[in-house]
Structure 1
């Protein structure tokens, strides 16, 4: 998922891979496609250490919203042409060092929370801010907001922590509570008067990640703001990207299928 600003300017597809010693580089290749447009290919030749290649993405290929990245491999054996030798051919992608190389999401807003940057493991850190020990009802409202973020961002791997603000470039802080409960939190004065259910995304401050605020005058207002949050997502993007977005958490299997 990319914001409008991230689709402009130079962008690259980075692929980090390791291959079997049996793969013959003269006759084997790895290709990268973005939104069904082939952006580059390389001979497969990385039997001893991870190799990193980058392909320039032409202007206009990336779209705001979801984008589809496809990797294809054609592999031939160095020596053996038997069917059994097929299973000696493999190319392994390192996801922690692969992906789209684009500018940070400087224009992030409530509809583009899916553009939040995950950490190297692929998980998105969610830091629930605590200024005091929460009551059980408030804790339940916090969990509800975490769930709403996970649903609206289609998170496959949310990594939730409670305590002080997250720092760095990955993830988002989550501030949940009534106006009285969150009073005094650093940066909250930017919201102004809180007269009902309220959602806001405060930009990163210093080395802190952005802060998503879910608040209101009463607990019912907070629950209403959480419901609004769960409905703010954007499912748009390129046609291939939007088609694949529902499968981010995996392909759902139904009974009676093969």
Structure 2
């Protein structure tokens, strides 16, 4: 800017010198050589100023060119940096996603291991339960077979005892407790099979030394004991025995009713 401002005075001085040179030549006034020398010096100074201006302009142009190149380079670097930042962000997001997936995978693997352990425990528990069920099944099967055999034996013994009691009951008064027990059992069994035949019951009591009240008392005691046994068996979930005892209770109740209904005929 200073060089441009210094050009104008030099140009004005050159104009004045040219004008003075023209007057000196035309009017023969002044020293023409001196004026020419001043003009040349002024032109040389102007040339130097112009050269300096050109150098400055070249420097500015070079600076601008280099600046533009650097600016382009900076833009490229900025674009590259932006791309790098974006890629870095993407890679960071991918890394976070991968880390999250790895954590989920580890958690899932841990849950799978825990589930496998629990399943193994459940499997062992089920195996133990199945073994216990099998043992119970075998035990119940054995007990059922034993009970069935025992009931068959009892049924056979009952039939045999009934036949024996029919033969052993005398027609006279009994003084021994064993004979009285035989007579009571004989009466109960006969009443069980001939409860609908009142004349048979009356005939038995007619030849028996036992009183009706004594037989009813024995039956009531037997019913109480059977009811107690029913509660015990029911608490232990022994269904077959529970049903069998129920049948016995019904049979005793029927016998009791038959005895009471035929009591008037004995008197």
Greater fraction strand = 1
Q: Which has the higher contact order (CA 8 A, sep 6+)?
A: 1
TM-score w.r.t. the length of structure 1 is 0.18
Larger Cα Rg: Structure 1 or Structure 2? Answer: 2
